[in-house]
Structure 1
């Protein structure tokens, strides 16, 4: 009987430890994410309603000027100049379109559902702020290093088939690296992004250098930000698909 009582007590202690560990982990994840949001600008960061970014994409020896305008939760339009031609991609609510002269397109064509899905995350300018209310779940999966910098590894399930693993600096609480896994056209796609050269604009922190790597691209693409406008006035008609 004593052995049975001891066994029950041991089981209860183990269960209590597991529950406590999960609680501590959840608190740690929330603490890390809250510090990350604060590092990005806190109230000013979460007050972003629109943004316009002028940048340059560098890939395969080419320098491609680009401009992107986003309205929080509403739409985005991005224009990239390639060999004198403008490639335009836009999201208008739950639909999207593209003009790609490099593919022989003279007018706008609708984006596929998968293409819209992969771009829709860019409409949220507030990142991990209030992540639970967005339907996300977050888990602290461990610690690591990114180019020698110690980081927390936080896995975020966005609930729409996309899972992002963020490597958050233990010193600055900036995201130094993200690995995003999603499904497009029945195939799993992995997108690796490194962030650096962080600067503040109107009290909000932005990475001015971004390196993107994906099997869909021939090599690493480096994005260098030239200028950022926070909360510019935007005529939302620019997101509408033009009539051909």
Structure 2
């Protein structure tokens, strides 16, 4: 799951002090990020998250989008337009999809390479919240300019070989950009996602605006979340490959 920052969260501004000039470690920056989002305990208490909004592709096509996330790492995304619904899901072990816009209305399993993006995005708290549990390695790389902001740059090396560079706002310690690099069928693929419009869901801040550009294909998409609800009941079957032909749910 973009858009430039829009703050306007007075409570957040008061709760998160500006970064000090002294050098900080990767773990200290992660801790500040979790505190800024509402605290590790509140984030861990969110066992599921349902988000609804709009997906704008290439600045031309607008689809209704719904995403379901369930701890520890299950995710399902649905994008609908003119009576057709595309589905992509990951149940923690394998991924599958329904692609009606490409003329494929039956569920089909995705390759391990194609599943990487879903697996990487599945954790509710993002790449920093549970990095130790997921077997990731986090390294602080100093600061780097992000559209005029001197952001803290963290390298997150995932267990599956993918790499995510997480940029934190220096005043609020929230993610403003994540650059993901992964190998797909022998080709290096990169996506750049900009995050903004943070809103609280059960006491935890989540980005409600996410703009992503994929490279080298140059595809662009913008997700705007209009409503999100935590700890919604979700059956594991929602994420599993359908056992009935043609069934998406």
**TM band (smaller chain):** 0.7 to 0.9
In structure 2, do the counterparts of structure 1 residues 41 and 58 end up closer, same or farther at CA, with 3 Å as the change threshold?
A: same
Distance of 1:206 and 1:172 partners within structure 2? 13
Q: Which residue of 2 aligns with 1:209?
A: 209
Q: Which residue of 2 aligns with 1:28?
A: 25
Gaps in structure 1 of 5+ consecutive residues: 1-23
Distance of 1:197 and 1:158 partners within structure 2? 27
Q: Which residue of 2 aligns with 1:239?
A: 239
Q: Which residue of 1 aligns with 2:94?
A: 95
Contact kept in structure 1, 2:88 and 2:95, CA below 8 Å: yes
Q: Which residue of 1 aligns with 2:129?
A: 129
Give matches, 1:60-99, under 5 Å.
60=58, 61-99=60-98
Distance of 1:92 and 1:131 partners within structure 2? 19
Q: Which residue of 2 aligns with 1:8?
A: none
Q: Does 1:225 align with 2:218?
A: no
In structure 2, do the counterparts of structure 1 residues 92 and 132 end up closer, same or farther at CA, with 3 Å as the change threshold?
A: closer
Distance of 1:207 and 1:178 partners within structure 2? 12
In structure 2, do the counterparts of structure 1 residues 93 and 135 end up closer, same or farther at CA, with 3 Å as the change threshold?
A: closer
RMSD: 1.8
In structure 2, do the counterparts of structure 1 residues 64 and 213 end up closer, same or farther at CA, with 3 Å as the change threshold?
A: same
Q: Does 1:119 align with 2:118?
A: yes
Q: Which residue of 2 aligns with 1:177?
A: 177
In structure 2, do the counterparts of structure 1 residues 150 and 218 end up closer, same or farther at CA, with 3 Å as the change threshold?
A: closer
Alpha-carbon shift at residue 124 of structure 1 (Å): 1.5
Alpha-carbon shift at residue 73 of structure 1 (Å): 2.2
Contact kept in structure 2, 1:94 and 1:116, CA below 8 Å: no
Between 182-191 and 230-239, report the one with greater CA deviation.
230-239
Distance of 1:134 and 1:74 partners within structure 2? 10
Distance of 2:218 and 2:165 partners within structure 1? 23
After superposition, give the CA deviation of every residue in 1:38-71 in whole Å (9 maximum; x if it has no partner). Answer: 1112111122211100021112312111001111
TM-score (norm 2): 0.82
Alpha-carbon shift at residue 216 of structure 1 (Å): 6.4
Q: Which residue of 1 aligns with 2:148?
A: 148
Q: Which residue of 1 aligns with 2:16?
A: none
Q: Give the SS at the match of 1:108.
A: strand
Gaps in structure 2 of 5+ consecutive residues: 1-21
Distance of 2:97 and 2:168 partners within structure 1? 33
Contact kept in structure 1, 2:73 and 2:119, CA below 8 Å: no
Alpha-carbon shift at residue 217 of structure 1 (Å): 5.4
Runs of 4 or more consecutive aligned structure 1 residues displaced over 6 Å after TM superposition: none
Distance of 1:28 and 1:197 partners within structure 2? 27
Which gives a bigger RCO, structure 1 or 2 (Cα 8 Å, sep 6+)?
2
Q: Give the SS at the match of 1:38.
A: helix
